[in-house]
Amino acid sequence: MTDATTKTATLYRMVLPDHTCPFGVRAKQMLEHAGYTVDDQILRTREETDAFEQKHDVKTTPQVFIDGERIGGSDAVEHYLAEHAA
């Protein structure tokens, strides 16, 4: 569990040589704006992305985890931040 002064999130997002997922960029910006330190985990190939999605039983990236709990993609992060605003 994080204390009140240190908010961290782990973000898994796709950044391929020919494509950077705009939803991953958006999720990172929202988290940073909300004061989170972001552990930015880049999925650099389609194979890494597919393996991540299979491991976590999700269909899309980005995926954000806060305090070990999967929050979801950028829309879910937006809702989470609105509900947990200090």
User: pLDDT digits over 4-57, tens only?
Assistant: 568 999 999 999 999 999 999 999 999 999 999 999 999 999 999 999 999 999
Q: Is there a domain that residue 50 lies in?
A: yes
Residue burial 29-50, b: 16+ Cβ < 10 Å; e: rest:
ebbeebebebebeebeeeebbe
Domains of the chain: total: 1
In a domain? residue 86:
no
**Residue 62: inside a domain:** yes
Would you state the pLDDT for residue 72?
97
Residue 1 lies inside a defined structural domain of this protein: no
Residue 2 resides in a domain: no
Overall average pLDDT of the 54-74 stretch: 96
Q: Is residue 36 part of a domain?
A: yes
CB-based contact 73:23 (threshold 8 Å): yes
State pTM to two decimals: 0.89
Q: Report whether pLDDT(1) > 60.
A: no
Range of the domain at 42: 7-79
* CATH number where 63 lies: 3.40.30.10
Given a contact cutoff of 8 angstroms between Cβ atoms, the answer to whether 2 and 67 are in contact is yes
Q: Is 59 domain-assigned? A: yes
